[in-house]
C-alpha cells in the first residue's frame, strides 16, 4: 500500500477511516458486509490523499464528520455518484463556465456543484473566484464546498481567506477551512489553528490538530499536549498523531500518559506516535 501522507502514518489514516466506517455501519443498522467495498477502497489509499478526515481515494471520497449531536459518521461517495457531482462532471471541461456558475444567484445547488467540480479539476484560475464565494456567499453549504475546493487546489492565495473562515458561523465551513491549511502548509496558519483547537465543534478541533501536525511547527506542541485530555476521543487520537509527526521531546511524557486512555483508538495513536521518536 502506497502512503500519500508524508507527515502522518498510513496506519493512523487507515485505522481512523476504518473505525469511522464501522461506526457509520453500526449507526445505520446495516450489515457490515455492505461496507466491505468501502474498506477495500480505503486500503487503496493513493499519493493524492488528503488528511485522515477527508481522504481522497481511487474510486471515491470518504468524508469523516464528527458531529457533536449525532457522533461520528462517514459519508462514502463511490465513483463520485452523487447528484451534485454528476452535474459537475457534465460541465467539467469548461472552467470558465464553472466559474460563471459560482455567481448563479437563483440556485445554490448550482453554485455548490460548480465549487466542487472546480476543486476536482484543480485549475488555479478558480482560486480567486472560490475565495470570493468562501467569504461572501450567503449559503453555508456553498461556502464549505468552496473551502473544500481550495483545499484540493492547495494554492497559497487561499491561506488568509481560509484563516478567516475558521471563524465562520457555520460549523462545516470551519471544519473544511481547517484541513486545507494543513495541506497548504503555510506557517502563518499555525496561530489561528492553535486557536481553533478550542472550537466548540470537535471536528474543527480534530482537523486543526491534524493540520498542525502536517505543518510541523514546534509552536503547536504545548497546545496539542493540552488537548490530549479533550472530551472527544477523535481529537485526542489526532493530537497524539500530530505530536508524533512533530517529534518534539516535550511530547514524550504526555504521550506516555495517554497509553492509559480507555479508548483503544487513542491508545493505539499514542503507541504509534511514541514509536516515531525511536526512528
Locate all alpha helices (DSSP H) within the chain, ordered by sequence: 10-28, 36-42, 83-90, 95-101, 108-121, 127-136, 140-153, 159-165, 171-184, 190-196, 202-215, 221-226, 233-246, 252-257, 264-276
> Pick the residue with more confidence: 250 or 75?
250
* Strand 54-56 to 71-78 pairing: unpaired
Indicate the burial class of 48 (C-beta count within 10 angstroms; 0-12, 13-18, 19 or more).
Answer: exposed
For residue 105, what is its C-alpha cell? 444567484
How far apart, in whole angstroms, are the C-alpha atoms of residue 59 and residue 41?
7
35 sits in the region (left: phi over 0; alpha: psi -120 to 50; else beta) called: alpha
Q: What is the DSSP letter of 122?
A: -
* CATH class given for the domain over 82-157: mainly alpha
> Pick the residue with more confidence: 56 or 154?
154
pLDDT tens digit string along 189-211? 999 999 999 999 999 999 999 99
Residues in the chain: 279
Which pLDDT score, from 0 to 100, does residue 94 have?
87
pLDDT tens digit string along 28-42? 443 433 333 333 333
pLDDT tens digit string along 34-88? 333 333 333 333 333 333 333 333 333 334 444 444 444 434 333 333 344 444 4
Other Cβ atoms within 10 Å of 256 Cβ, number: 11
The ranges assigned to domains in the chain are 1-79, 82-157, 185-279
Same fold, 82-157 and 185-279: yes
Closest CA relative to residue 151, chosen from 129, 172, 120: 120
> Pick the residue with more confidence: 191 or 8?
191
Into which CATH architecture does domain 185-279 fall? Alpha Horseshoe (1.25)
Amino acid at each position: 500500500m502506497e502512503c500519500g501522507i508524508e507527515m502522518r502514518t498510513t496506519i493512523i489514516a487507515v485505522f481512523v477511516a476504518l473505525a469511522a466506517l464501522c461506526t457509520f455501519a453500526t449507526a445505520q443498522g446495516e450489515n457490515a458486509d455492505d461496507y466491505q467495498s468501502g474498506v477495500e477502497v480505503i486500503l487503496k489509499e493513493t499519493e493524492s490523499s488528503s488528511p485522515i478526515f477527508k481522504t481522497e481515494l481511487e474510486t471515491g471520497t470518504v468524508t469523516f464528520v464528527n458531529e457533536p449531536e449525532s457522533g461520528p459518521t462517514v459519508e462514502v461517495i463511490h465513483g463520485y455518484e452523487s447528484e451534485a457531482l454528476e452535474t459537475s462532471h457534465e460541465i467539467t471541461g469548461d472552467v470558465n463556465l464553472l466559474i460563471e456558475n459560482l455567481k448563479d444567484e437563483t440556485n445554490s445547488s448550482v453554485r455548490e456543484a460548480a465549487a466542487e467540480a472546480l476543486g476536482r479539476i484543480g485549475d488555479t484560475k478558480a482560486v480567486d473566484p472560490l475565495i470570493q464565494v468562501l467569504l461572501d456567499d450567503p449559503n453555508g453549504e456553498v461556502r464549505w464546498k468552496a473551502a473544500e475546493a481550495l483545499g484540493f487546489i492547495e494554492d497559497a492565495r487561499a491561506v488568509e481567506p481560509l484563516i478567516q473562515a475558521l471563524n465562520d458561523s457555520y460549523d462545516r465551513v470551519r471544519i473544511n477551512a481547517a484541513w486545507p491549511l494543513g495541506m497548504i502548509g503555510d506557517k502563518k496558519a499555525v496561530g489561528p489553528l492553535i486557536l481553533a483547537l478550542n472550537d466548540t465543534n470537535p471536528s474543527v478541533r480534530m482537523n486543526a490538530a491534524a493540520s498542525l501536525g502536517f505543518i510541523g511547527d514546534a509552536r503547536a506542541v504545548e497546545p496539542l499536549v493540552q488537548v490530549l485530555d479533550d472530551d472527544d476521543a477523535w481529537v485526542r487520537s489526532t493530537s497524539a498523531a500530530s505530536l508524533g509527526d512533530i517529534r518534539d521531546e516535550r511530547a514524550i511524557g504526555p504521550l506516555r500518559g495517554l497509553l492509559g486512555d480507555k479508548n483503544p483508538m487513542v491508545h493505539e495513536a499514542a503507541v504509534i506516535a511514541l514509536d516515531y521518536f525511536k526512528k
